[in-house]
Structure 1
Amino acid sequence: MVGTKGAETSARLVESMLELIQRHGYAGTGLNAVVEHADAPKGSLYFHFPEGKEALGAKAVELAAARFGALVTDAAADLTPGESVRRVLEVLGGMLADSDYTLGCPVSVVTLEMGAHNDRLRKACADAFESWIAPLADLLVAHGRPRPAARRTATAVVSMVEGAVIVSRARRSTEPLRDAADLLAPLLDAGTPS
């Protein structure tokens, strides 16, 4: 029972860190705010994350990677690569609009803020991006693309999606995400068997 309660507290701390990074950035997220947001006992943070903010930040990036990875996997079911990317961009656009353009990609935020200063967080972000690139490359291979071309294309798609999210936030509009979908879908489906 204690293990379950401890796991729940740890999960709440990671979830809170993720949400606060999305809203305020990594640097703008203090540990006291995380503990308060998670409604966790003050001592629980260092009990679960003895290495402090860096360890908690890495876990938040892992959680974001897993959630986006699940979105990509779900979107790929029974769809062409272009349809899958269009579906992912529609979901991201909905999330941005629903948050009034306050939630960004925590992985890109942590990369931009800490990637040059903290190797642990940079690696967590690189692993997160890879967890999105690899399944898209696999989907492209399954639809007839050679592996090296599929990998390059998947990397470019993830890069474009990240940029479209940032521009959408700046403009407070989902139009950049729609533009990306309109450009990417036919490119990804070109030569794909029906």
Structure 2
Amino acid sequence: MPEPSTRDRILDATAELYRRQGMPATGLKQISQAAQAPFGSIYHHFPGGKEAITVEVIRREGIRYGEFVGAQLADIHPLTGIPHLFENAGRNLQAQDYSEACSIETIALEVASTNEKLRVEAAEVFDSWLSGLATWFAPLGLTDAECRRLATITLTALEGAFVLCRTLRSVEPMVCAGHGVQAAVQAAVGAV
């Protein structure tokens, strides 16, 4: 397998740093060191500096997380398997000592009121995830609006549980969120 390009190393290092410590706490020199790339290569590959890197990180991480969760959803039935999905997310977070969660969430929380360009990028990722989740719920025979509502409940519960798990250093919020989402799905199907 070929070595990752300097550009890819910069993006990978930035994404990891953002997951661990957030965007404001991550400096370009730190990115350069973590990527094992000369400092000048950052501006060579990303003439817009940190904002340009962040746009690319949001896009790449959005695809990466979307594919990761999509692969897990393929093996889970939405009427019964949601707690398992959330428990897996909790175990993964715990295995990383609660240091790495969703970088998109972290960035969105930091920039939603201060950087419109990055807010829009994060919103596009979240919207693509919501669309994917709504499609996953579609075989339950619900309306498009109900599938979108359940997708929103699911993503909101997952992202909120990440925040609580990291803060409390416990998987309990993730487990509770999974059961809560499952109950909402079963109630929606029961109402049809």
TM over 0.5: yes
Structure 2 gap ranges (5+): none
Alignment of 1:1-150 (within 5 A): 8-83=5-80, 85-150=82-147
- Residues 128-175 of structure 1: CA distance to partner in whole angstroms, max 9, x if unpaired? 111211111011112211101111221121111111110111110011
Distance in 2 between the 1:82 and 1:22 partners?
31
Distance in 1 between the 2:130 and 2:32 partners?
33
Asked if 1:171 corresponds to 2:168, the answer is: yes
Question: When the two structures are superposed, what TM-score results if normalisation uses the length of structure 1?
Answer: 0.89
Distance in 2 between the 1:67 and 1:92 partners?
15
Distance in 1 between the 2:74 and 2:32 partners?
38
Change (3 A) 1:13 1:77: same
- Residues 64-95 of structure 1: CA distance to partner in whole angstroms, max 9, x if unpaired? 21122112211221421245533432332122
Letter in 2 for 1:173: S
Distance in 2 between the 1:170 and 1:11 partners?
30
Distance in 2 between the 1:104 and 1:111 partners?
13
Change (3 A) 1:31 1:140: same
Give SS of 1:169's match.
Answer: helix
Q: Aligned residues, how many? A: 188
Change (3 A) 1:71 1:91: farther
Query: Is the 2:153–2:181 contact (alpha carbons within 8 Å) kept by the matching residues of 1?
Result: no
Letter in 1 for 2:128: S
Change (3 A) 1:48 1:82: farther
Distance in 1 between the 2:60 and 2:82 partners?
21
Query: Is the 1:72–1:132 contact (alpha carbons within 8 Å) kept by the matching residues of 2?
Result: no
Displacement of 1:178: 0.6
Structure 1 gap ranges (5+): none
Change (3 A) 1:107 1:84: farther
Distance in 2 between the 1:82 and 1:75 partners?
15
- Residues 73-121 of structure 1: CA distance to partner in whole angstroms, max 9, x if unpaired? 1122142124553343233212211221122321121111112111111
Choose from 143, 157, 172 the match for 2:154.
157
Change (3 A) 1:59 1:82: farther
Question: When the two structures are superposed, what TM-score results if normalisation uses the length of structure 2?
Answer: 0.90
